[in-house]
Amino acid sequence: MPPLSILDLAFVPEGSGPADALRNSLDLARHAERLGYRRFWLAEHHNMIGIASAATSVVIGHVAAGTKTIRVGAGGIMLPNHAPLVIAEQFGTLETLHPGRIDLGLGRAPGTDRATMRALRRSFEGADTFPQDVLELQALLGPARPDQAIRAVPGTGTHVPLWILGSSLYGAQLAAMLGLPYAFASHFAPDALLPALATYRSQFQPSAQLDKPHAMVGVNVIAAETDEAARRLFTSPQQNFTNIIRGTRGLLRPPIDDIEAYWSPAEKRHVSQMLSRSLVGSPETIRSELDRLIAETGADEVMVASAIHDHEARLRSYEILAEVHRSDALRHVA
Residues with Cβ within 8 Å of 184's Cβ and at least 6 positions away in sequence, in order, are 165, 166, 167, 171, 172, 192, 193, 196, 197, 215, 216, 217, 218
Q: In the predicted model, what is the mean pLDDT of the chain?
A: 95
Cα→Cα distances 153→28, 140, 197, 238, 245, Å: 31, 9, 36, 44, 42
Q: Which domain holds residue 117?
A: 1-160
Q: With beta carbons less than 8 A apart as the criterion, state whether 154 and 108 touch.
A: no
pLDDT of residue 123: 64
Q: With beta carbons less than 8 A apart as the criterion, state whether 75 and 43 touch.
A: yes
The mean per-residue pLDDT over the stretch 261-276 comes to 97
- Give tens-digit pLDDT for 177-186: 999 999 999 9
Tell whether 49 is covered by a domain: yes
Measure the CA–CA gap between 281 and 287, rounded to whole angstroms.
9
Measure the CA–CA gap between 245 and 238, rounded to whole angstroms.
11
- Give tens-digit pLDDT for 202-253: 999 999 999 999 999 999 999 999 999 999 999 999 999 999 999 998 999 9
Question: How many domains is the chain built from?
Answer: 1
Q: With beta carbons less than 8 A apart as the criterion, state whether 207 and 292 touch.
A: no
Tell whether 281 is covered by a domain: no
Tell whether 318 is covered by a domain: no
Tell whether 35 is covered by a domain: yes
Measure the CA–CA gap between 193 and 274, rounded to whole angstroms.
12
Measure the CA–CA gap between 46 and 48, rounded to whole angstroms.
6
Collapsing DSSP states into helix, strand and coil, what is residue 33? helix
The mean per-residue pLDDT over the stretch 242-266 comes to 96
Tell whether 116 is covered by a domain: yes
Tell whether 290 is covered by a domain: no
**pTM exceeds cut of 0.75:** yes
- Give tens-digit pLDDT for 300-325: 999 999 999 999 999 999 999 999 99
pLDDT of residue 30: 98
Tell the burial category of 163 from Cβ atoms under 10 Å away from its Cβ (0-12, 13-18, 19+).
buried
- Give tens-digit pLDDT for 114-155: 788 788 866 656 568 999 999 999 999 999 998 889 999 999
pLDDT of residue 111: 60
CATH of the domain at 82: 3.20.20.30
Tell whether 181 is covered by a domain: no
Tell the burial category of 311 from Cβ atoms under 10 Å away from its Cβ (0-12, 13-18, 19+).
middle
CB-facing half-sphere around the CA of 314: CA atoms within 13 A? 29
Tell whether 14 is covered by a domain: yes
